[in-house]
C-alpha cells in the first residue's frame, strides 16, 4: 500500500501525549503556534507545481556531465524547480507576476485548430506558416505552447553563451514548464476537460487527484528508462512529434476514466473538494479503479510524465551544445592583478615609523 502524501508524516503526529515530558510540552505550544503561522503564510502549492518540479529535477539527473553540474547543486536545483513552477504565476491574473500575454503559452489544442485527423501530418510546424494558414486568432484561442517552448530554448542558448545566470534559470524554467505542459494530454486538445466526451473534470482528476494520490509511483516511474541524451538538430520539429505522441494517450486515459466512473458511480466534477483531500473515502474507490485501469493500459499518464523529463533533458542539452558547451554560468572573475608594490608593502612600514622615532620630544621643564 502506497502512502500518497508526506504531509502527515511529521514525527510529532506519532508521539502519544504520554511520551511528552513537561519541558517538551512547554516548547510545543509556541512551536505549534509558529507552525500554524507558517501554514497561513506559505503560498498554496498545487500538486501540478510538484509535478513540474519533479520533471525539471529528473531532467537534470538525465543530463550528461559537465552540463549536469550547472544545475545539480542543491541551491541550483532548487532555483530551477522554482523557475519551472513560476510560469503558472505569470498566467494567473491574481498573481503579482501576472503577464497578460502568457496564457496561450501553456497549451496547444491542435484538434481545435485543424480539422485534419490525427496524426496531423500536414500541420505547419513553423509559426509563420501556421499563422498564414489558420490566422493569428486561432492561436490566441488554442494556444502557442510548441513555439513558446522553442522561443525559451533559443533564449536559453543565448543566455548560456553569454553567461547570464539569471536568464539561464528563468529560460530553463520556462522551457521546463512549457515542455511539461506539452506532455500533459489535456493541454493539447479542445476536449481539455473531457467536456466533449462525457468525462467532465478529467483534467484536474488526472493532474491533481490521481498524481497527488500516487505521487510515489510517479516519482519512481519517471526515473526509469534513462538513456543517453540526444542533441536535437530540429528541436521545433521534435516538439510537434512529441505533441503527436502525447495526443495518442488521450484516448486510453478517457477510456480508463469512463470505466472507473462506471464501476464506482463517482464523477470527479461533482466533488472538486476531493481532489486534494487524500483522506476522502468517497473519492478513494474511483481513483484506485482509475489507476488500476490505466496500469492495464500500460500507464500512459506515467509514460507522458517520463517522456516530459526525457525530452526536457534533450532540449537542455541541445541549448547547451548550441551555446558552445560553457562550463560555468557566471563569467569567471578576472584573476587578481599584482599591485605595483606587490606583496612587499610591509617593507615600507619601518620607513613610515621613522618620523615617530625621531620626532622632537618636549623636554621636561627643569625650571621650578
Ligand atoms: Zn502551465
pLDDT tens digit sequence for 209-258: 999 999 999 999 999 999 999 999 999 999 999 999 999 999 999 999 99
CA of 31 to the centre of ligand 1 (A): 36
Do 132 and 125 touch, CB atoms closer than 8 A?
no
The residues near 196 (Cβ < 8 Å, ≥ 6 apart) are 190
CA of 230 to the centre of ligand 1 (A): 25
Quick one: the chain helix, strand, coil %, rounded to 5? 60, 0, 40
Within a domain: residue 175?
yes
Task: Kindly report the number of other CB atoms within 10 A of residue 315's CB atom.
Answer: 25
Instruction: State how far the Cα of 193 lies from the Cα of 208, in Å rounded to an integer.
Output: 13
Domain containing 273 — which CATH number? 1.10.575.10
Least confident residue range of 25-39, 224-238, 292-306 = 25-39
Within a domain: residue 4?
no
pLDDT in tens, 306-356: 999 999 999 999 999 999 999 988 755 566 665 554 445 555 555 566 555
CA of 145 to the centre of ligand 1 (A): 9
Q: Which residue has the higher pLDDT, 66 or 17?
A: 66
Residue from 241, 235, 258, 205 nearest 317 by CA = 235
| Mean of pLDDT over the chain | 85
Predicted local distance difference test score (pLDDT) of residue 158: 98
Within a domain: residue 227?
yes
CA of 331 to the centre of ligand 1 (A): 32
pLDDT in tens, 170-203: 999 999 999 999 999 999 999 999 999 999 999 9
CA of 262 to the centre of ligand 1 (A): 30
CA of 198 to the centre of ligand 1 (A): 24
Do 262 and 191 touch, CB atoms closer than 8 A?
no
Instruction: State how far the Cα of 366 lies from the Cα of 368, in Å rounded to an integer.
Output: 6
Question: How many degrees, rounded to 5, is the angle at CA 37 between CA 36 and CA 42?
Answer: 100
Q: Which residue has the higher pLDDT, 248 or 9?
A: 248
Within a domain: residue 1?
no
Predicted local distance difference test score (pLDDT) of residue 65: 96
CA of 251 to the centre of ligand 1 (A): 22
CA of 193 to the centre of ligand 1 (A): 15
Cell of 219: 516519482
CA of 148 to the centre of ligand 1 (A): 11
CA of 104 to the centre of ligand 1 (A): 9
pLDDT at residue 20 greater than cutoff 90: no
Within a domain: residue 9?
no
Within a domain: residue 212?
yes
CA of 118 to the centre of ligand 1 (A): 24
CA of 87 to the centre of ligand 1 (A): 6
Total-model pTM: 0.78
Within a domain: residue 248?
yes
Q: Give the pLDDT band (50/70/90) at residue 44.
A: very low
- Quote the number of domains for the chain: 1
CA of 88 to the centre of ligand 1 (A): 5
- Percentage, residues of the chain above pLDDT 70: 77
Tell me the residues surrounding ligand 1 (ion) with CB < 5 Å: 88, 106, 181
CA of 301 to the centre of ligand 1 (A): 17
Counting every residue written for the chain, the total comes to 368
Within a domain: residue 38?
no
Q: Note down the domain range covering 211.
A: 45-322
Predicted local distance difference test score (pLDDT) of residue 48: 82
Using the 8-state DSSP alphabet, how is residue 366 labeled?
-
Amino acid at each position: 500500500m502506497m502512502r500518497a502524501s508526506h504531509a502527515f508524516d511529521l514525527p510529532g503526529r506519532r508521539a502519544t501525549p504520554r511520551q511528552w515530558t513537561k519541558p517538551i510540552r512547554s516548547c510545543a505550544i509556541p512551536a505549534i503556534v509558529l507552525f500554524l503561522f507558517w501554514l497561513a503564510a506559505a503560498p498554496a502549492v498545487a500538486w501540478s507545481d510538484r509535478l513540474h518540479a519533479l520533471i525539471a529535477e529528473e531532467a537534470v539527473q538525465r543530463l550528461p556531465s559537465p552540463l549536469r553540474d550547472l544545475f545539480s547543486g542543491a541551491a541550483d536545483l532548487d532555483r530551477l524547480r522554482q523557475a519551472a513552477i513560476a510560469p503558472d504565476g505569470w498566467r494567473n491574473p491574481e498573481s503579482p507576476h501576472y503577464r497578460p500575454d502568457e496564457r496561450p503559452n501553456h497549451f496547444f489544442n491542435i484538434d481545435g485548430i485543424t480539422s485534419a485527423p490525427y496524426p496531423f501530418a500536414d500541420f505547419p510546424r513553423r509559426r509563420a506558416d501556421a499563422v498564414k494558414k489558420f490566422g493569428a486568432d486561432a492561436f490566441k484561442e488554442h494556444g502557442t505552447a510548441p513555439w513558446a517552448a522553442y522561443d525559451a530554448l533559443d533564449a536559453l542558448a543565448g543566455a548560456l553563451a553569454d553567461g547570464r545566470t539569471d536568464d539561464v534559470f528563468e529560460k530553463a524554467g520556462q522551457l521546463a514548464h512549457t515542455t511539461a505542459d506539452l506532455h500533459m494530454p489535456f493541454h493539447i486538445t479542445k476536449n481539455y476537460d473531457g467536456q466533449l466526451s462525457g468525462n467532465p473534470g478529467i483534467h484536474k482528476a488526472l493532474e491533481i487527484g490521481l498524481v497527488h494520490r500516487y505521487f510515489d509511483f510517479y516519482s519512481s516511474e519517471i526515473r526509469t528508462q534513462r538513456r543517453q541524451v540526444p542533441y536535437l538538430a530540429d528541436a521545433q520539429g521534435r516538439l510537434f512529434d512529441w505533441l503527436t505522441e502525447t495526443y495518442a494517450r488521450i484516448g486510453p486515459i478517457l477510456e480508463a476514466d469512463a470505466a472507473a466512473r462506471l464501476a464506482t458511480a463517482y464523477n470527479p466534477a461533482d466533488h472538486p473538494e476531493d481532489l486534494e483531500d487524500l483522506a476522502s473515502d468517497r473519492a478513494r474507490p474511483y481513483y484506485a479503479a482509475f489507476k488500476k485501469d490505466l496500469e492495464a493500459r500500460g500507464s500512459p499518464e506515467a509514460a507522458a510524465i517520463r517522456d516530459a523529463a526525457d525530452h526536457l533533458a534533450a532540449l537542455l542539452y541541445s541549448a547547451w551544445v548550441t551555446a558552445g558547451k560553457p562550463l560555468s554560468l557566471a563569467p569567471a572573475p578576472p584573476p587578481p592583478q599584482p599591485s605595483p608594490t606587490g606583496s612587499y608593502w610591509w617593507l615600507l612600514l619601518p620607513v613610515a615609523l621613522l618620523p615617530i622615532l625621531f620626532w622632537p620630544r618636549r623636554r621636561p621643564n627643569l625650571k621650578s
